[in-house]
Amino acid sequence: MTRARWISWLMLAVWASWLTAAQSVLVAKTFLGAWVPDVGLLFVVVCASRFETRDVPRAALLLGVVRSAYTVESPAAVLAGFLAASLVVHGVRTYADVAGPLARAALAASLVVLFDAWLVVAESLRGGADAGRGASGVGAALLGASPSFAAGAIATAIVGIAFGGALTHLPGLTPLRRPRW
């Protein structure tokens, strides 16, 4: 791996860290916490649309590690969710062009819903609070959290349309982007 690619991976971690920290502050400090977009998952979609295929799981893993540093959620659940998101984006990418703003926004919004549902299920099963109720406890937790899923998905889609293209051109990420012919 060339020196430029190493620096590019470092810059991806720095950009992801800054964006995730800003997201965490907005969620914690504002009254519209549910309406804060999930920039990490949007970044996974952007990376998958512009990076080489072999770099997408690495980028998702890096973004998952960064997200784990700024959240109270289970690191294993976050990493598994980000890797699953990269697999979903890779699968969609083989059949459709995800580089366009509308496709990118729709894919990011659907990933936010799936990722948030995954985190609720993982937390319900991990917490043991619903152990006596089994699947009905997980279902109740999903139903209780579903309005915030929609809010986050809508906010992520709007940010994906407005700023998704800018995420592909952040300084330092050029060596990771695949060339367009």
| Lowest mean pLDDT segment, chosen from 34-48, 69-83, 146-160 | 146-160
Whole-angstrom distance, CA of residue 79 vs CA of residue 94: 23
Q: DSSP labels for 48-76?
A: HHHB-GGGHHHHHHHHHHHHHHT-SS-HH
**pLDDT-derived band of residue 148, with 50, 70 and 90 as boundaries?**
low
What is the overall mean pLDDT for the chain?
83
Distance CA 20, CA 1 (A): 27
Tens of pLDDT, residues 132-143? 455 555 565 555
Interval 20-45: pLDDT, tens? 999 888 888 878 777 889 898 998 89
Checking if the pLDDT of 130 tops 50, the result is: no
Question: What global pTM score does this model have?
Answer: 0.83
Domains present along the chain, CATH in parentheses: 3-176 (1.10.1760)
What percentage of residues in the chain have a pLDDT greater than 70? 85
Q: What is the pLDDT of residues 42-74, one digit of tens each?
A: 988 988 888 888 888 899 999 999 999 998 888
Q: What is the DSSP string of 100-134?
A: SHHHHHHHHHHHHHHHHHHHHHHHHHHH-TTTTTT
Average pLDDT over residues 95-108: 88
pLDDT at 137: 58
What is the rounded CA–CA span in Å between residue 36 and residue 58?
Answer: 25
Here the tokens at position 13 are: 């971690």
